[in-house]
Structure formats: C-alpha cells, structure tokens
C-alpha cells in the first residue's frame, strides 16, 4: 500500500472523529505552546544579558539607595546617597577613577505658549561620555564606521562644562524631539525656557538618536530629553535633597571587587552603618556590577525555563497518553476492518504505518495549534519575565518536531498491537 494511500486513509479516520481528535490533541497543544514560550524566554534572557554587557562596562559599579518593602510599598532605607558623597568618592576610594551621577524629576517645561510634561535629568559634565560608552543609543546620522565620539551626540550648541556643574549654572541641553516640541522649528540655542519655576538657558540640542536595542526601540524615545547640571537641578527643582544614582568607573576592571570594598567602607563611614546581631553590615545602599546583573538574569531565566519545561513535559506526556488511549480504542473499534485488510493481503507494516500516521496526524495538528498559541502567549510570558522574550525562527521547527516525536512515541504501541492481531480472530470480532 502506497504512503499516499495510507495518509489518505489516516486522514479519513481522524476526520471521522473530529471532536475526539480535538480533545486528544489538547495536551500536545499546551505542551508545544509551553516549548515555544520556554525557548522565547531563554532567547530573550540571552539577549538581555548581551544588552547588559553593552550598557554596563566591566569596570563600572552602579550605586543606588536601598529600598525595602514596608506595608506593601517600596520605601527607601537609611540615609540618602548625596551629591557631595559622589564628589568625594574618588578621593576616598583610590580604585575609583571617576563617578557619574544623576537625578531625575518629572517637570513642566515651557517656552512661550508651548509647554510639555517631561522627565528631566540632572547629570554630571561627563554625562555624554557615559552615553557613548553605554552603547544603548546612537545618532541617526552615524555611519557605523567612524569612531563614535561625544561630539557626534550634540546636534547644535554644546554640552555643559565641569565649571558650570560645580557652579550650579542654570543651563540645559534639550533632546531632539523636545526642542521641536518647544520651539516648533525655531533655533533653541541661546533662548530661555522655564522648567517649573526656574529660568534656564538652552545651550545645546542633542542630535537625533535611536535606541540600539531593538526591544526598546518602540518602548522609549531617547529624543525626549531635558538635561541639566545635577547641582542646578538639586538646588532649583527639589524641595529637599534627593538620593543620587551613581556609576563609579574603576581604574582596573580586574580589581572591581577590591573597589567595591573601598566604596562600601567609604559609604558605611559616611552613613554610620551598623551591624546586625550576626555581625553583617546593615547597608542602606546597593552596589551592582555587570557580573551581579548577569547572575540575577541567568538565575531568573533558569528558574522560569525549568517551570515551563516541566509544564511542557507533563503536557506532552498527558497528550501522548491521550493519543495512545484513543488509538487503542480505535484499534478495538476497527478490529474487524484490520482483519479484512490482512485477509486481502495487507502486511503488518501497512497496519503499523496506518495507525502510526493517524497518531502523527493528531500530534502534528496539535503541534500547529500549539505553535500559534505559543506565539500568542509570548507577550504574557514576557510580562512575567521582566519583558524579556525573543522568538527565533529555529524555535518553531524545533517545537513542531517535538510534537511529531510525541505522536510517534505514543502511537507506536497501538500500531504494533494492531499489526499483531490474528486475522481469523479479528474477522470474528463483533
């Protein structure tokens, strides 16, 4: 019997019991969908790790105030990290080369009749240097070949200087889109805008930028920016001194743990940090390195992948057992048909192939439905994994292959059972 005829026969048999076949393939659908989601999360985690390696250099330590959950809300712990602490850090921690600092606040910017709500950022004079080294954004006009310098990020005017930061001069640099929103095509450089109730002279406009990370390209707009000297922003826009976010650049990346210890010692002395009953410091600040983030992301991705893998395995086993049970029932219902086919010359292999093809057809249909469900479920899975999921083309054939393998593995026993029936006994079956 030809393979085409066997396939036609298997299709007719499955089509004759559509509802039963649909219920049978449900486990396969869930299993394959779980495989798709698991692969997408794994790929997304790897992509996130790669992005982390770009945005946080091997010689950098991020420092921020510690938060703890109190009464269901995240509340700051202990003393704030201050601007002056950032200024003094390099002189108290010899392995620290320089410290970038930033604060942010939602403000209303106004020029003439045009006004916008925007998140303003107070940064140090080397803010552009950090932007260049992060690799998270790049100028739209950059050709990708020439060296990417700080100057490439300035479209017109200039960035503020170290002296302006120290003096707390009321100047600002606008993002490309922010300048368009406020000035509607007019020249912004040299004009005065209002940031809340503070007059601020525009000294520069950033070049039009684009996110280098495709996942963030449509989530945030780097062109909607308003940058001010951090000292100016703290003095003019905050009623009380805010906690400052710091990035410490270390002299030698190989000694980053030694630098972490120096920074911790310095901040513990400034904040008068005590110890708990077990002798551990009760720090009110957190320090994060690239290896810390890598470990956290890998652990989270590993845990979630294990859960999905377990779910996929259980679903596929349940689906496979369902296929086996249905095929055994089908063999019993068609015992006389099997006897007739054997009596007219069908070989045991023909019987095996017929029932095996029916099992594979059910699992393949479940696999296709599972692939669609898995693709639709990826945004949900991503929301449970910090928005990180990435479906690669190779994941789909792999998931479909798992579905086919399930059909073969669990359909083989009923098919073999059917091929071993005695033709005479089968013909007598009522």
Q: What is the pLDDT of residue 388?
A: 63
Q: What is the pLDDT of residue 207?
A: 94
Put simply, whether the predicted model's pTM sits higher than 0.75 gets the answer no
For residue 325, the tally of other CB atoms under 10 A from its CB is 13
Single out the residue of 308, 297, 293, 320 nearest to residue 378, CA to CA.
308
- Alpha-carbon span 161 to 169, nearest angstrom: 10
- Alpha-carbon span 414 to 407, nearest angstrom: 11
Q: How far is CA 117 from CA 6, 14, 181, 238, in A?
A: 68, 61, 11, 16
Q: What is the pLDDT of residue 7?
A: 65
Residues of the chain below pLDDT 50: 214-215, 217-218
Residue 79: DSSP 8-state: S
Sign of torsion over alpha carbons 231, 237, 241, 242: negative
Q: What is the pLDDT of residue 328?
A: 84
Q: Which phi and psi (to 5°) does residue 197 adopt?
A: -110, 20
For residue 269, the tally of other CB atoms under 10 A from its CB is 10
Q: What is the pLDDT of residue 217?
A: 47
User: Which residues, other chains included, contact 322 with Cβ-Cβ below 8 Å and sequence gap of 6+?
Assistant: 23, 24, 25, 26, 27
Q: What is the pLDDT of residue 108?
A: 96
- Alpha-carbon span 115 to 126, nearest angstrom: 28
Q: Could you read off the pLDDT of 222-270 as tens digits, one per residue?
A: 899 999 999 999 999 999 999 999 999 999 988 999 999 999 999 999 9
Q: What is the pLDDT of residue 50?
A: 61
Q: Which is it for strands 198-206 and 171-174: parallel, antiparallel or unpaired?
A: parallel
- Spatial contact of 156 and 186, defined as CB atoms under 8 Å apart: no
- Spatial contact of 32 and 402, defined as CB atoms under 8 Å apart: yes
Query: How far is the first Cα of the chain from the last one, in angstroms, to the nearest whole number?
Result: 26
Q: Could you read off the pLDDT of 340-372 as tens digits, one per residue?
A: 877 777 778 878 887 788 888 888 888 888 888
265's enclosing H/E stretch is helix 256-271
Single out the residue of 415, 413, 376, 405 nearest to residue 316, CA to CA.
405
Q: What is the pLDDT of residue 102?
A: 94
């Amino acid at each position: 019997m030809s393979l085409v005829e066997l396939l036609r026969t298997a299709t007719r048999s499955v089509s004759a019991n559509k509802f039963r076949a649909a219920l049978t393939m449900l486990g396969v659908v869930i299993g394959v969908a779980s495989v798709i989601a698991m692969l997408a999360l794994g790929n997304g985690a790897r992509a996130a790790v790669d992005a982390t390696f770009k945005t946080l250099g091997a010689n950098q330590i991020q420092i921020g105030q510690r938060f703890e959950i109190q009464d269901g809300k995240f509340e700051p712990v202990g003393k704030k990290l201050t601007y002056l602490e950032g200024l003094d850090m390099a002189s108290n921690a010899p392995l620290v080369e320089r410290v970038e600092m930033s604060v942010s606040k939602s403000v209303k910017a106004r020029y003439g009749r045009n006004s916008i709500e925007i998140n303003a950022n107070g940064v140090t004079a080397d803010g552009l240097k950090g932007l260049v080294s992060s690799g998270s954004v790049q100028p739209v006009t950059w050709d990708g070949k020439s060296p990417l310098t700080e100057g490439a990020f300035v479209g017109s005017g200039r960035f503020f200087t170290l002296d302006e930061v120290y003096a707390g001069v009321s100047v600002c640099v606008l993002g490309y889109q922010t300048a368009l929103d406020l000035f509607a095509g007019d020249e912004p450089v040299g004009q005065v805008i209002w940031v809340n109730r503070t007059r601020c002279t525009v000294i520069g406009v950033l070049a039009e930028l684009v996110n280098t990370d495709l996942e963030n390209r449509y989530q945030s707009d780097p062109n909607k920016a308003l940058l001010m000297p951090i000292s100016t922003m703290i003095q003019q826009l905050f009623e009380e001194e805010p906690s400052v976010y710091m990035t410490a650049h270390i002299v030698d990346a190989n000694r980053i743990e030694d630098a972490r210890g120096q920074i911790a010692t310095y901040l513990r002395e400034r904040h008068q940090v005590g110890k708990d009953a077990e002798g551990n410091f009760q720090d009110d600040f957190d320090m994060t390195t690239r290896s810390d983030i890598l470990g956290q992301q890998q652990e989270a991705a590993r845990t979630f992948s294990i859960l999905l893998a377990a779910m996929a395995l259980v679903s596929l086993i349940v689906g496979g057992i369902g296929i086996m049970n249905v095929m055994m029932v089908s063999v019993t219902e068609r015992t006389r048909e099997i006897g007739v086919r054997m009596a007219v010359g069908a070989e045991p292999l023909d019987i095996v192939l017929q029932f095996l093809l029916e099992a594979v057809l059910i699992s393949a249909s479940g696999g296709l439905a599972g692939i669609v469900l898995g693709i639709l479920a990826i945004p949900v899975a991503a929301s449970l994994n910090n928005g990180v999921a990435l479906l690669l083309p190779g994941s789909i054939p792999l998931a479909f292959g798992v579905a086919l393998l399930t059909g073969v593995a669990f359909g083989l026993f009923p098919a073999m059972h059917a091929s071993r029936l005695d033709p005479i006994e089968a013909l007598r079956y009522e």
